Chain A
């Protein structure tokens, strides 16, 4: 007869190495996690990065300033426009150029649309990671509408390079404002569907609440920013702390939750989509007249010095650090990518959790591998 005493006879409990990735659907790209597990419990996680490292920081040293814009798209491709903006703001800061309000407004609207599109795709894949395939269709259905708006104005859908030092590549399409307003009206109706489908789902809540906890102190120490940091009460929204572009003209709330678990990070992102819509609504009817690009010199040379620009990308704080020696190429460019810092906290979050929960935790961190590898 099987009893409590003899059920484990002959089975030794010891740590076991489980390799997850580099080709695994839940790592959302080529990331390899070497997990030490004991039974079902994760004891240690060691991320192995670098499968798609392209040496972007080295490449920038040979390129001119306008050319580098196109590399910034290829970091976190889901917040391409925000990365463009960060880089352009840094160059403008160095040249002491104040762009027109029209450029600021358009940049902010584009950044917020990017944020919504990025959170939609995160929601798709998060639901799918937890086993709800329908989420994927709902999210992509709505994301398509934003990509259509991008396509009409910028000419491309994913890696856009719409910003350029001193302004924008082109003016907005005549239909832009109408299309954006239509989208907001539409998305206000469909966003509650997301809640009905996934947020209220008991299985999803059971898998997320209390899973992958990280304290505020750890979040700050590891530099976990963006929605992941704000899920742990770490008030890190650069849009509030150091307003850039048109964020000083709008009213919005920084979404904060203090539970620090996967569900908190989920809810922060859901609420951020609503806040982004509020921001866009305040700006879309008031885009001032003016040039869409400031006059720039043919060859841009930054004065000697060091320049740093922080922005709030969809996954956290994105920073551009340019060291210039007064030539047409930068001496050194460093991209502070949010995902790299967020990934470093994965071990703390997943320790002593079930191996299946690692998928939920990874999903809630929403990592994009090209941003980690650069």
Chain B
């Protein structure tokens, strides 16, 4: 399916989603409460079949925290990028997609580890790389470590 078709499909599922045709991929920004429905529909729909989540990235846009999902279909070879943002920096919560794509289980733990985003309905929400006693979330832009990060 081409980008115009995908756009129409997304707007059918989530009316009012913010869609940008980026240089490379079609990028859709959705509200946190719509993400899981959209992701599930995009995977299940016989015309889209986004069955392969090839990259899940945690992001800190300074005013908001969020996740970027890069999706492709092994059958149709089309791409879509989903973005979800939350402005709550003290206790951000987003829906987990690991019931849709199992690879998200580890990647979401990584995002939790570095950005402190809690994923609802994740079976095992713990830090994956850092110690449990680690304070703060290192990949956030406002993370301060006076000993190891040298500001020039």
Contact = CB atoms under 8 A, between A and B. Distances in A.
B144 interface: no
Given A58-B138, A323-B59, A223 B70 contact: no
Interface residues of B, number: 30
Interface stretch (A80-88, A268-276, A301-309): A301-309
A222 B105 CA distance: 9
A53 B51 contact: no
B102 A221 contact: yes
Interface stretch (A34-42, A125-133, A164-172, A334-342): A334-342
A327 interface: no
Contacts of B106: 340-341, 343-344
Contact of B102 (A222, A308, A319): A222
Interface residues of A, number: 34
B22 A306 contact: yes
Given A49-B129, A55-B138, A235-B74, A334 B57 contact: yes
A49 B55 CA distance: 19
B19 interface: no
A134 B66 CA distance: 50
A264 interface: no
A241 B138 CA distance: 35
Interface of B: 22-25, 27, 51-55, 57, 59-60, 68, 70, 74, 77, 101-103, 105-107, 110, 114, 128-130, 138-139
29 contacts: A49-B129, A50-B128, A50-B129, A50-B130, A55-B138, A220-B51, A221-B51, A221-B102, A222-B103, A223-B54, A234-B74, A236-B74, A306-B22, A306-B24, A306-B27, A307-B24, A308-B25, A310-B54, A317-B54, A319-B54, A319-B55, A321-B55, A321-B57, A323-B59, A332-B57, A332-B60, A334-B55, A336-B55, A336-B70
